[in-house]
Amino acid sequence: MSSPKGLFADDRGSAPVEFVLVGLMLTALTLAVLQFGLAVYVRNVVHDAAVDGAYHAALADTTTAEGAQRTRDIVSRTIGAGYAADVSVREEISTGNPTVVVSVRTTMPIIGLFGIAGTWEVSGRAPIENFG
């Protein structure tokens, strides 16, 4: 049986095209994995800062405003002040005990550190210290 003759029968020059296409796919996959890792890192930093701020605000000799400021300071030093713009603190009763809750609404990074502002909300809780 004879091989088909025509424009599509010749595969000369296809190696560079395949190399570019596979290279683009691998590069996109690598960048996506790195971006996902960065997003998880940002979320963990903001969550840990909220927890640290809640524990600081729950101390007997501090105020809730000091806990919020501590959260802002940690986030600002670590990933940038833009990620610490919306920090709120409230007191609530949780399982019958007074608790401080620090909530942070922050940006979800989509490309690098740029993303959609205010799409993530994380909270940290701590029992309020008392001497009674």
- Residue 110 placed within a domain: yes
What's the pTM? 0.83
DSSP 10: -
- Residue 99 placed within a domain: yes
C-alpha span between 67 and 72 (Å, rounded): 9
Domain range enclosing 25: 14-127
What pLDDT, in 10s, does the model give residues 18-77?
A: 999 999 999 999 999 999 999 999 999 999 999 999 999 999 899 999 999 999 999 999
C-alpha span between 89 and 78 (Å, rounded): 20
Point out the least confidently predicted range of 12-16, 80-84, 93-97, 119-123: 12-16
- Residue 6 placed within a domain: no
Q: Considering its fold, how many domains does the chain have in total?
A: 1
- Residue 37 placed within a domain: yes
C-alpha span between 62 and 57 (Å, rounded): 6
What is the chain's mean pLDDT, rounded?
91
